[in-house]
Structure 1
Amino acid sequence: MSIDENKIRFTREWLVAANNDLLAVSRLLQDPPLTALAAFHCQQAVEKALKGYLMWHDTPFRKTHNLLELVEQCSTHDGSFIELKEIAESLTPYATEARYPDTELDMSREALADSQRMVTSALAFVRGRLPDVVTTPMTSG
């Protein structure tokens, strides 16, 4: 029985996009830091990884930036996803609030470095629950 090549490709595309968002965060935090953009890409990286996981499991998802909603959907396949709840709650506001100048979010370089660590952890968590066939390669050209 062969795995659907389209399913592999689409899942991998979500994961590559997530990884590219994480790479963008690293670059955006270099001097001079662009913290609002880095915050947005932190949220986007986790969103795309979660959607990649759902894609692999043939689970439809709505167009949402709510990471907690996506974590809850993922947890229907693997209950350990609930471990990402705190990360989801921390990063979800970055999807919208970080894009506007009147935000009350802490977007200091230090706060974003913490967020970057959360993203790195969340992406490793998701990749660890998917088969190798979709987790490599993890960068795009």
Structure 2
Amino acid sequence: MSTPPEVLSEVCRWVEKAENDLRNAGYVLGLADDCPTDTVCFHCQQCAEKYLKALLIFRGVDFPRTHDLVVLLNLASGGGWPALDAGQVQTLNRYSVEGRYPGDWDPIDLQEAGKALETAKRVRAAVRGMLPPEALP
């Protein structure tokens, strides 16, 4: 059974937004000492979230309005899930708030921001491996 074109189109839109977040994170991290690391980490969390939601849309799985990557990962695991470390993916969760709002947060150094980018790239690779080429921009 083939996937309806409107579903593929919706998945593609989510993937495009996820790619924009990943590009932003990589670009900003490249600023090195001038890097706002909270922004990098926020975009990494957003990239992972949007890729997971793209997979759920492709699979026809309804999901709640949430930024919690563990919730999304658990929903996605129903259709089989590639090798992803859920604990590592969960580390991105805190950035959905800490990356956007002021607060009494622990500082994020360049090394931590780099790890967040690597985690986002792993989620990207895993999800893209489960989507058909016609759903990818």
TM-score of the pair, normalised by structure 1: 0.88
Conserved? CA contact 2:89–2:119, under 8 Å: no
- Distance of aligned partners of 1:103 and 1:22 in 2 relative to their CA distance in 1, 3 Å threshold: farther
Aligned residues: 135
Give structure 2 stretches of 5+ with no counterpart: none
| Structure 1 residue 18 displacement after superposition | 0.7
TM-score of the pair, normalised by structure 2: 0.90
| Structure 1 residue 73 displacement after superposition | 0.2
- Tell me the residue number matched to 2:135: 134
Give structure 1 stretches of 5+ with no counterpart: none
Conserved? CA contact 2:69–2:93, under 8 Å: yes
Runs of 4+ with >3 A deviation = none
Measured in 2, the distance between the counterparts of 1:98 and 1:3 equals 35
| Structure 1 residue 2 displacement after superposition | 5.1
| Structure 1 residue 130 displacement after superposition | 1.2
| Structure 1 residue 65 displacement after superposition | 0.4
Conserved? CA contact 2:38–2:98, under 8 Å: no
- Distance of aligned partners of 1:29 and 1:130 in 2 relative to their CA distance in 1, 3 Å threshold: same
Q: Is 2:99 aligned against 1:102?
A: no
Sequence identity percentage = 28
What RMSD over aligned residues (CA atoms) do the two structures have, in Å?
Answer: 1.6
Measured in 2, the distance between the counterparts of 1:66 and 1:91 equals 9
Q: Which residue type is aligned with residue 85 of structure 1?
A: A
